[in-house]
Amino acid sequence: MGFFQRLVRAVKAQFNALLKRIEDPEKLLDQLLLDMNKQLLEAKRSVAQALADEKRLEKRVSEYAAQVEDWEQKAVTALKAGREDLAKQALVKKAELLEVLEQYRKSHEEQHATVEKLKASLRDLQDRIEDARRKRNILIARAKRVQAQKRLQETIKGLSDTSAFAAFEELEKRVEELEAEAEATEALEAEDTTLSLEEQIRKLEKPEDKADVLLEDLKKRLGLPHDSSGS
């Protein structure tokens, strides 16, 4: 498994663990970004190490290529000097070095391809982290909205309990009964007050006042002289 695959798995594992305790989305996202940056630093070190290995292989290729060329020139020099035996030995040495050179060239090409892939993965990781930074506030708002919806659903679920509604209706009925009792008591008190007032007025009236009124009325009907002052 490659480094970046392990990195992705590690980040996912951390995210899943933190997601289970998403009570504080802002703190969670900040922690995730911090972990991502730590992983990014580790990824950069790995890319730097791979690049250093490529440079070392490139140096070996140059060194062995120079040695191959050197033994080629030695073979030419020996051959021109009429020393075919030395020329053959030089060519054998050249062939041995050329074989090693080809191995280094192959390793260098493979390492170069690996470095390029790591660089591309590193750029992709950097882009994702930057994207995560930009989305941080949006994700916080979304997470808080989900929390609010969850709390609302829990509240609604609690209100759906029939015993709670029954208690509410019983309380409403009791309040209505108390209101009716209060209104009845108030009406009775008002009636008692009215009767008491009438009785008090009747007590103020003189017993003869009514008789005098009746007498004056009779005189008036008979055409007899009567007291116009009413006394």
Q: HSE-up of 100 (CA within 13 Å, CB side)?
A: 15
pLDDT tens column, 153-209: 777 776 655 566 676 677 788 778 888 877 877 777 665 555 555 565 565 555 556
42 or 199: whose pLDDT is higher? 42
Cα 137 to Cα 143: distance, rounded to the nearest angstrom: 10
The structure's pTM equals: 0.51
Amino acid (one-letter) located at 51 = L
**pLDDT value of position 105:** 96
Distance of CA 113 to the CA centre of its chain: 40
pLDDT tens column, 56-97: 999 999 999 999 999 999 999 999 999 999 999 999 999 999
User: Read out DSSP for 54-114?
Assistant: HHHHHHHHHHHHHHHHHHHHHHHHHHHTT-HHHHHHHHHHHHHHHHHHHHHHHHHHHHHHH
**pLDDT value of position 3:** 54
Cα 209 to Cα 170: distance, rounded to the nearest angstrom: 60
Place of tokens 């008591």: 185
- Return the closest-CA partner of residue 81 out of 90, 70, 68: 90
